[in-house]
Amino acid sequence: MDLIIDGLAVKLGKRTVLHDVSAHLKPGRVTAILGPNGAGKSTLVKAAAALVDRSGGSVRLDTQDVRAMDPRARARAIGYLPQDATVHWNIVARDVVALGRMPHLGAHAAPSAEDRAIVDRAMHDTETIHLADRPVGELSGGERARVLLARVFAGEPRWLLADEPLASLDPSHQIDLLARLRTYAGGGAGVVIVLHDLVQAQRAADDALLIADGRVVAFGPVADVLTPDTLAQVFGVRVALLEDGGCRLLVPVGRIETA
């Protein structure tokens, strides 16, 4: 099931945030969305999940417009992880994760043994099973972020859209989370992540969608998109080439000063 963004435009108030954004995303791959602050990255993933209205264009899963889908069917197909790790009810972590199964349950149906097993697996996969019986209000920001990721995993979506999932995590958990997202994509799902860290994008993503001022600058394999020229153009930075375990990484080392 491909995720096809075609001529997408979004207005927030009177301001156009996204202009004619197009990209054809494939399942089984991790796509990183990158760009400067205010480029429209978060708005793009929200529009892809039908969480904000669009003023033009379309977002489709194969031929089906995501906005026209039945909400429960859309929730089974697309899982969205917001950058805000707030949980509004102080329930235990296991119950938060179990909310991810709701699109799969019939009206008034109780979770089955299989549903409970999927919840447990999602918590093991995010290293949150030891938090299962703790109220989320007692958890750190990073722990809550991993619990919310477990909730998305529990829904088993065909597409997982994560908005800055590394923001509340320490370096070890950042590396671990990206590895788990790659594993999820390896199972045949599509994964889209909004990132600020160019090095992590190069290490974790297959493809990159680079946007600036609400427009696509480049889209394609990471090595083709994240080049010294594009990084200089979009971020105004100079880069150094580093070798890391056989991987070639472009690392920002300084700003390009303009006269």
pLDDT per residue as tens, the chain (259 positions): 999 999 999 999 889 999 999 999 999 999 999 999 999 999 999 999 999 999 999 999 999 999 999 999 999 999 999 987 678 889 999 999 999 999 998 767 788 999 999 999 999 989 999 999 999 999 988 888 899 999 999 999 999 999 999 887 888 888 888 998 999 999 999 999 999 999 899 989 999 999 999 999 999 999 999 999 999 999 999 998 888 777 788 888 898 876 5
Q: Are 222 and 32 in contact (CB under 8 A)?
A: yes
Residue 160 structure tokens: 């997982």
Query: What domains sit in the chain, N to C, each tagged with a CATH number?
Result: 3-90+156-226 (3.40.50.300), 228-259 (no CATH)
Q: pTM for the whole thing?
A: 0.92
* Phi, psi (degrees; rounded to nearest 5) at 26: -110, 140
User: Which pLDDT does position 83 carry in this prediction?
Assistant: 85
Q: Is 145 helix (H, G, I), strand (E, B) or coil?
A: helix
> Residue 75 has what DSSP assignment?
H
Work out whether strand 190-194 and strand 159-163 pair parallel, antiparallel, or are unpaired: parallel
Tell me which residue of 35, 6, 44, 2 sits closest to 161, measured CA to CA: 44
Distances (CA, A) of 234 to 218, 226, 228: 10, 10, 10
